[in-house]
Structures are given as C-alpha cells and as structure tokens.
Amino acid sequence: MHTGGAVIGLVLLLAGSTYATATGAYRWHLHTKAERLRAEGVPVQASVTGRENTVGRGGGTDTIRVWYDVDGTQYTERILCGSAGGCTREPPEVMTLWVDPERPEEFVAANGNTDDSVFFLNSWGGIPFELLVAALGAFFVFAALVPTGLFDRPAPASPRRGPGRNRIRRTRAARRRPRRTAR
C-alpha cells in the first residue's frame, strides 16, 4: 500500500465531493429562498446603479448595485446583473424587489437573483470540475489500496531448462573471477 498516494487521494476525494455538495446545496437554498420571497415578499421599487462589467477582466460576472427603502431604512446590495453569463442588455434604472417583511435585507429581484447571488458557491459550472477532482482522488485511493503487483516486484525470471536448473546460479561478476580451490 502506498500511503502517500492514499492520503492525497483521500484529500482530493473529500475536498471535491464536499465542494460539489456545498455548491449544489447552496444553489438549492437560493432557489427555495427565491420561491418563498416571490410568494410571501412585499414588492418594493429599487434604484439600479453601479453596473460592474468584470467578465472581460476574468473577475467574474456582471453585477449591479440596487438601492431600496423599507420602512424608512435604506438598504443597498450588489447582485448579479443577469444570469451567470452576465448582462445581455443594459439593466433598467428601476427594478422590482420582493423583500422579506421580517428581514428586509433579504430579497429576490425581478431578474431572479437574490441578495446572496454574488457568492463563490453560486455557480453550476463549478460542479463538473469539483466532481473531476473527487474522481481523481478516488482513483488515487483505489490505486494505493488495491494491490495490483504491476510495479511492486520485478518480473519473475524465466524457468531454466536443462540438468542444472535447480542449482544456485553464480552472478555474472562471480563467473568472471577464477574459482579458488582448496589446498
């Protein structure tokens, strides 16, 4: 057993599967939160400002900043502009939000994004990579724990033929030296 490969494999397996599970669970949480707020939330008009186009710079997706008032208190939050691909057109200046009456900092916007939409786990695209890391880790664990014997010992010598096949063979260096005879 190769413990180094097994440990690395176990770390990759646990990290990849945990991250994939966390991403899926977070996406499920956002979906249920959005559905709950659409049904129970109070509609509020929000001003949209501060579009940040970070896709071209490799920094993520397009985001916008929304400003809204609930019971005289002003809130601001940065959310995704559109889907994970970014804005397909310029965002409107005013957007409807459905705000949780008990926790006004939680909302779902008319574009379908919640107040938690700008979070590193909010991406379906990461799951295939995370599962690939987990599969690589599973392969390392499998390779370390399953004895294949391919690399563990040298190949067996071919059977010798003839009358001296069972005697102990002298090494090549020993065969080159003359034998000493007892006097």
- pLDDT tens-place string over residues 73-119: 999 888 887 665 566 677 788 999 999 999 999 999 888 888 888 77
CB atoms within 10 A of CB 160: 11
Given a contact cutoff of 8 angstroms between Cβ atoms, the answer to whether 87 and 51 are in contact is: yes
Q: CA nearest 10: which of 148, 144, 131, 129?
A: 144
CB atoms within 10 A of CB 182: 3
Q: According to the model, what pLDDT value does residue 150 have?
A: 57
Phi and psi at residue 103, in whole multiples of 5°?
Answer: -130, 90
Q: According to the model, what pLDDT value does residue 57 have?
A: 45
Q: According to the model, what pLDDT value does residue 59 have?
A: 47
Q: According to the model, what pLDDT value does residue 165 have?
A: 60
Of all residues in the chain, what percent carry a pLDDT higher than 70?
73
Per residue in 54-72, pLDDT (tens digit) is 654 444 567 888 999 998 8
Given a contact cutoff of 8 angstroms between Cβ atoms, the answer to whether 21 and 163 are in contact is: no
Q: According to the model, what pLDDT value does residue 145 have?
A: 80
- Tell the residue number behind the tokens 């033929």, with chain if given: 161
User: Tokens for 56?
Assistant: 């071209």
Distance between CA atoms of 178 and 183, rounded to whole angstroms?
A: 15
